[in-house]
Amino acid sequence: MRTVAEHLEAVLAQLTPVAATTVPLSQAHGLVLIEDVSSPVDLPRFANSAMDGYAVRASEIAGVTPEEPRVLPVLGDIAAGDGAPRTHRDFHAWRILTGAPVPEGADAVVRVEDTDGHPREVMIKAAVEAGANVRPAGEDVRAGSVILRAGTRIGPAQLAVLASAGVAEVSATGQLSVVVLSTGNELVPVGEPVGPGQIHDSNGPMLAALVRAAGHFGVFAGHLPDDEKAIKAEIDHHLTHADLVVTSGGVSKGGSYDPVKSVLTGVGSMEFTEVGMQPGKPQGFGLLGKRKVPVFTLPGNPVSVLVSFEVFVRPALAALAGQRYEPVTVPAVVLQGWDSPEGRAQYHRVSLSRDTSGAYAAQPVSGPGSHLVGGLALADGLAVIPAEATQVATGSEVRVLPLRPLWEIEADVVAERDAAQAAETDPAETDAAEAGREDRG
């Protein structure tokens, strides 16, 4: 049996970033840069005013105070966007607006609040240092310097610097196109009636959503019966266009009842293996077809699917997009301990709250069964328990991999704490607080 780290390494060793495309900035949000981007220009592009006021030479108003002001003739107005060449004249001032170019020879701007605001002959009431309220050219970015490194995801701030530098298109990996397939004779799409022994397919919608939430293009291509030929044909079809294929079900020890494993064994670099983790033990991965498309065959149990996604598929998506992935976990104190299987890393569903010291506290929300999708939906995160542990003691500290954005977890934690405090000061609130807790299970 492989460890989680060994299996992840085996997967990542086979992955190379998908080919880059050149995209206009308007379509670049969310994509990942494939090469460093340098700025062709200084930022700011030119020395400009940080304030509405008067452009002056600082030495010409040295020692000026409200009691001993100095009056300077005003040469005119310079507004933002005004590109006409302007020059300072000794013992004069230009009225200047925020963002407007500072005239040649002026070295400071006096804020309008430190003057009488006169448009023709301004009374200056405060001295300033040379450079005051001037944003120098190249202060932020020097022409020719790298503004964004390869591997950076283009978010709002990255779009802002690219646009500021006038970079109109970038070379980036597109959103990855990920095809999700469910397998199993028992599956019926949600919305259709289930017969005896049948269940609704939940892995398909969940996996497609996990892919989309990771910033990619997840298509749920439907579910397949336990039929080797049909499964092979469907996977082959998607190898012509997908960047990644993820199946669920049919990979354990059921022989012909586990057709994904039987039909893909020995194909491409496909390898079926057991990984020391709970849930998620049976795993398959390999590159298939002429395009060497990576294919994950995840176990069918819904919790195993989600855990396998977090532990293997998410890092693989990052690698395909040219990024490295490191999971972020938060520390939490265990409110009620549980057992962990010997020799397998455990990913245990927990809800998070705050203990009296303000640290996160973790409470198991269901047993370890990998079919318990109700408990999964209530979990804030997965407590990650190392393979060597056989017990998680009450009061010990665990690391929790959040399953929801931390700010949403935080909002619930704070709302619960507020309700509990309100109940302490006003017993009439107790019912409301109890009801809130019941809502969250």
Ligand X SMILES: Nc1nc2c(c(=O)[nH]1)N[C@H]1C(S)=C(S)[C@@H](COP(=O)(O)OP(=O)(O)OC[C@H]3O[C@@H](n4cnc5c(N)ncnc54)[C@H](O)[C@@H]3O)O[C@H]1N2
- Binding letters toward ligand MOO, positions 231-270, x by CB under 6 A: ----------------------------------------
| Per CB under 6 A, 204 contacts ligand X | yes
Work out whether the CA dihedral 238, 242, 248, 250 comes out positive or negative. positive
Residue 106 vs 224, nearer CB to ligand X: 224
Minimum Å gap between C-beta 199 and ligand X is: 6
In the complex, the smallest distance separating the C-beta of residue 4 from ligand MOO, rounded to whole angstroms, is 12
First to last CA, the chain: 36
Rule CB under 6 A: choose which of 134, 370, 409, 413 binds ligand X.
Answer: 370
Please check whether residue 90 is in contact with residue 60, taking contact to mean a CB–CB distance below 8 angstroms.
yes
Region of 167-175, 189-197, 243-251, 277-285 interacting with ligand MOO (CB under 6 A): 277-285
Helix 430-439 / helix 406-425 crossing angle, nearest 10 deg: 150
CB of 218 to ligand X, least distance (A): 15
Q: Which of ligand X, ligand MOO, none binds 184 (CB below 5-8 Å, type-dependent)?
A: ligand X
Spell out a b/e string for 359-370, using b for 16 or more CB atoms within 10 Å of the CB, else e.
ebbbbbbbebeb
Q: Is the CB of 249 or the CB of 375 nearer to ligand X?
A: 249
* Using rule CB under 6 A, residue 201 touches ligand X: yes
Is residue 134 a contact partner of residue 102, using CB atoms and an 8 Å limit?
Answer: yes
Closest listed residue to residue 208, CA positions, set 196, 195, 222, 197: 222
Q: How far is the CB of 301 from ligand MOO (least distance, A)?
A: 4
Tell me if 279 contacts ligand X by CB under 6 A. yes
Q: What would the two tokens of residue 266 be?
A: 């020995």
Tokens of 150: 């390869």
Query: Contact between 158 and ligand MOO (CB under 6 A)?
Result: no
**CB atoms < 10 A from the CB of 236, how many?**
12
Is residue 299 close enough to count as binding ligand MOO by CB under 6 A? yes
Determine the 3-state secondary structure of 9 from DSSP.
helix
Selected binder of ligand X within 44, 174, 294, 300 (CB under 6 A): 300
Residue 400, beta-bridge partner list: 330, 383
The partner in contact with residue 250, picked from ligand X, ligand MOO, none with C-beta cut-offs of 5 to 8 angstroms by kind, is ligand X
Q: Which is nearer to ligand X, 299 or 322 (CB)?
A: 299
Q: Which does 201 bind (CB under 5 to 8 A by kind): ligand MOO, ligand X, none?
A: ligand X
Q: H or E segment at 262?
A: helix 259-264
Structure tokens belonging to residue 309: 């996604």
> What string of H, E and C letters represents the secondary structure of 121-153?
EEEECCCCCCCCCEECCCCCECCCCEEECCCCE
Which chain residues interact with ligand X by CB under 6 A?
Answer: 182, 184, 186-187, 199, 201-204, 248-254, 258, 279, 281-282, 299-302, 304, 370-371
Which chain residues interact with ligand MOO by CB under 6 A?
Answer: 278-281, 299, 301, 304, 370
